[in-house]
A and B are shown apart, each in its own frame.
Chain A
């Protein structure tokens, strides 16, 4: 009897949670800009994200766009598993959505699933990764930044700051985009660049220890480039633990990272405005459905690189803490 009661309680719990949580992602507003059909539109946004501080901002962008445009946004992420991403795309095609926005970090893996979407007449926009392959995947356009170009910008800035040896901290095993950033930085930096693999955002303490150990072992490192704001905060701790005077720069923003820029702990952040990477694809796909508009003219839509330094950090500080930058 106890097991029965416990199961019933659990079932009620699951139902309750489902009821509470199903509202934020769907929008029932039909008070949209009434051009064209106002029938129900669902956009599936399927990224390779991990739910961390970077992707939460992109998700917020997609959800805000859904509210603004009066469409339902179904955001799913595959946590860097390309097979899961392919399965989610196929599920979206089966569900009959009106638009699919994907991050193409592994274009080969999702090629077939996207071909199926195209065959079903579903428009596709790529975001964040895939700036060189989006046309082969059948996408209308790509919303993001060119990782190599962004890396080059970061390398240039660090060279101007006078650094001679750079440690490029790679926190994800499976992300070719991160490799591109380090490769881009290596092109323009001028000095020597070393790629350094760490545990990642799943264990910031361990990551901080790994970076500190490296800095203590090699005292000639005078610049550290993190590729994620949470990793940058771990690097801040690592630099003070190791007693190093290395300069720190990062990719992407978070509330803490902006505060660190204001206090001078981080030199600059390369901002790709991932809020836009979630927001714009939803807008583009909705307009394609309602008004047959295509954006980009055959070229990608760039959301970065922007550089946030001590001079302009104050403007974005509050927004970063609110989770929209």
Chain B
């Protein structure tokens, strides 16, 4: 089920290619949860989230480093959500937190692009599922090459200006805990990607600007944003 955009994306560790399934997690960075302080137990939510708040980035959204992201005419700005993505190496079903990373082949940068939307209750898929709204890459860094995944940090630049710094150490559920909680009810297969969650506030970007997400050993994921044709 790979898309044309990603079937040429290969990496040096098994399973060597993605499956095409990409899941994202919301409200899993402390800053993102803190931004909703005071609203969590009020309508329409009525209670803070219990399970991980997940969403699917379908195959049409996947794009690679360098690909242009189209800003639709109806949106003045888009939100960029720099996330660390775990690439599954071994089938992960009901894994424990302690053994979670045994199922991870490596890590990569995922940019969860969205049309800004007012709430988290039941947003339309058209905010997150547009073509090209999920750049990934520029490479997969093997799990073995990263001593401490919790120390990974992403820095987001818009036209060269640093707009956000977010570390995996500030996740509500660590990546290992997240993998355990997600695979309790949904098995992840080799090549699937689970993104751990972006920080808030989400940087905004307009057509004509370029976003670079720099992740140290993960490399830098660069995408120009352009007006829709």
Q: Do A and B bind each other?
A: no
Q: Footprint of A on B, CB under 8 Å? A: none
